[in-house]
Amino acid sequence: MPPSRKRARRYDPDRTRTAVLDQFAQVRRAVAGLSPEQLALPARPGDRTVRELTVRLATALSSVSRSLELPEPRGAKPELTPVAWVLTPAARADRTDEETRALAACHPDPVRLFDEVAAGFAAAVASASPDRLVATPAGSMRLGDHLVTRTVELIASTDDLNAATGLDIPYDRQALAAATRLLADALAERAPGGSVEVRVPPFAVVQCVGGPQHTRGTPPNVVETDPLTWVRLATGRAGWAGEREAARVSASGERADLGGLLPLTS
């Protein structure tokens, strides 16, 4: 059975930290081989270039290091969970596009930027407790939870980089798993219920959408897709109708249309 929506999913902070660094290293190796012409290519989302995208990728880690340099936010309890981070647009505003462009202008060598950011992140996180509170634009989070949100940023932006350049940068399995599960849990939070089963093998299964609850046997309403397609749908990089038409999403049952619930990060 899918996990209960009322029981928050737990993530191992050491495995998550390693996954974040491994995914960042995959991108760093690819960025080292990009030509000036490739760095000038347009990249989604918005009107940024590949160079600006690489800087935005770097901020996924540098934002954590910056937060750990600040005093711990007041309050005994975190204000945000990972699921709330997905569903709260302000929580994801680590850097505006204008700030990203400014950073790009200050760091003409993206490889050096990646090396500096990775070293700073590894040192800062290694000495910090996963229960330590860190500040985000929308409220405080546990460091361990914040690291889980970094997997969404890194996986989605790696996919953007692959789409813009034609590269085939690998996806760290643990990072992809964490991003997939977090976005699936966010769907279950946005549309609570048990009438639709959403399957993203091999990483996640959740039930959502109000209506008759399924308890055993084959569910009457089933949605199934692969992890990358799910990340694209959940973050607005792909549309429901287009992915169904392309057969990257299968949906059966009268309640199995998730088009009105996606993207989750809008």
Q: What is the per-residue pLDDT across 144-188, written as a single tens digit (0 to 9) for each?
A: 999 999 999 999 999 999 999 999 999 999 999 999 999 999 999
Chain mean pLDDT for the chain: 90
> Which residues does 22 contact at the CB level (< 8 Å), separation at least 6?
172, 174, 175
CB atoms within 10 A of CB 112: 10
Is-contact 222 251, C-beta < 8 A?
A: yes
Full strand arrangement of the beta sheet holding 196-200: 204-208, 196-200, 222-225, 249-252
> What is the band of 96 on the pLDDT scale with cuts at 50, 70, 90?
low
C-alpha–C-alpha distance, residues 240 and 245, integer Å: 9
Between 137 and 230, residue with greater pLDDT: 230
Which position has the higher pLDDT, 18 or 214?
Answer: 18
Lowest mean pLDDT among 92-96, 138-142, 233-237: 92-96
DSSP alpha helix (H) spans, the chain: 13-32, 36-39, 50-69, 82-87, 97-106, 110-126, 143-165, 173-190, 227-234, 240-245
Bridge partners (DSSP) of residue 168 are: none
Average pLDDT for 199-220:
83
In contact, 5 and 188? CB cutoff 8 Å: yes
pLDDT at 138: 85
The whole-angstrom separation of Cα 24 and Cα 29 is: 9
Q: Are 250 and 226 in contact (CB under 8 A)?
A: no
Rg (CA), the chain: 19
Residue 103: closest CA among 140, 148, 155, 49? 49
Q: Which own/partner pairs from 128-136 qualify as long-range (CB within 8 Å, at least 24 positions apart)?
A: 128/68, 130/13, 132/68, 132/72, 133/72, 133/73, 133/75, 133/78, 134/64, 134/67, 134/68, 134/72, 134/73, 135/67, 135/70, 135/73, 136/67, 136/80, 136/85, 136/91, 136/94
* Stated length of the chain: 266
Residue 45: is the preceding peptide bond cis (ω within 30°)? yes
pLDDT of res. 48: 85
Rounded distance, CA 215 to CA 194, Å?
A: 8
pLDDT at 55 over 80: yes
Q: Say what the pLDDT of residue 5 is.
A: 46
Could you give all domains of the chain from N- to C-terminal order, each with its CATH number? 13-176 (1.20.120.450), 191-252 (3.30.1050.40)
Do the beta carbons of residue 65 and residue 124 sit within 8 Å? Answer: yes
Would the pTM count as exceeding 0.85?
A: yes
The percentage of the chain sitting over the pLDDT mark of 90, rounded to a whole number, equals 76
DSSP state of 42: B
pLDDT class for 213, splitting at 50, 70, 90? low
**Residue 219 above 90 pLDDT?**
no
Angle ∠(157,16,5) on CA atoms, nearest 5: 90
AA identity, residue 131: D
